[in-house]
Amino acid sequence: MSEAVADSTRRRIVAAAGEIFADQGFEATTVREICQNARTNVARVNYHFGDKRRLYEVCLEEARRHRDALFPMPAIDHSMPVLVRMVRFLEGIVYRFLASDPFSWEGRLILREMLQPSAVGRPLLEQGVRPQFEFMGNLIQEMAPTVSAADRNHACYYVVGQCILFRTGGALVEYLTPSFGPFSSQENVDGQIQELAIRLCKGVCALLGQACTVTFDHNIEQLLQSPSAK
């Protein structure tokens, strides 16, 4: 088998497996289903990947590369006030959750692992999700130095929960509050992302209550509109 043919077969198997894993999860998917979808046989799957577990790991790695290439997290200027840094960080999170293609297997597979973590997918959470969760927690700690760990985590989950709601429950949001959810209009998507990020940041401040030592003022609003803060 030539290298070009082997690479084509490998990519075809990954794409076929990714679709099924995204729909059914690791445990419910069989290698035979993958073979049928990829128009290949079990021997070739074993030749290229060894077993189903390794194939799933490769699919997760590919999904993560796909996400990072299309939706890189923004560079954050650490000299900026913490509220500006938080909004910029949240813009990246919102963009990843809501601007990605909801029908691509890569996005669906990552979302499945976030909502229903598998033992095989633990590296994705440890390498791709936990660092962002901890980074957000550190920003919240800077906003409210005396906040308890429980309240800090609650504020983080407030952000994650809204992003998941808008990603998975968009039809419900549109039904209950037409034209309210993010991307209710396809115009000025970047502006809508920033608006939601600011709302999320203000919501975090409200949750922190008196422990929060920073507030949105005219200076913060100006910095958020400044190209140097982006």
Kindly report, residue by residue over 67-88, the tens digit of the pLDDT.
999 889 999 999 999 999 999 9
| Final residue of a structural domain among 30, 63, 96 | 63
Range from 31-40, 52-61, 90-99, 200-209 carrying the lowest mean pLDDT: 90-99
Q: In this prediction, what percent of the chain has a pLDDT beyond 70?
A: 95
Rounded Cα gap, residues 185 and 69, in angstroms: 25
Range from 114-123, 178-187, 214-223 carrying the lowest mean pLDDT: 178-187
Same domain for 126 and 17? no
Same domain for 97 and 145? yes
| Structural domain count of the chain | 2
Q: What domain range is 38 assigned to? A: 3-63
Same domain for 99 and 33? no
**Cα 95 from chain centroid (whole Å):** 8
Same domain for 32 and 92? no
The model's pLDDT over 168-217, given as tens digits with 9 standing for 90+, comes to 888 888 889 887 766 666 677 788 889 999 999 999 999 999 999 999 99
Same domain for 140 and 58? no
Q: What's the CATH number where 174 sits? A: 1.10.357
Same domain for 43 and 147? no
Same domain for 155 and 53? no
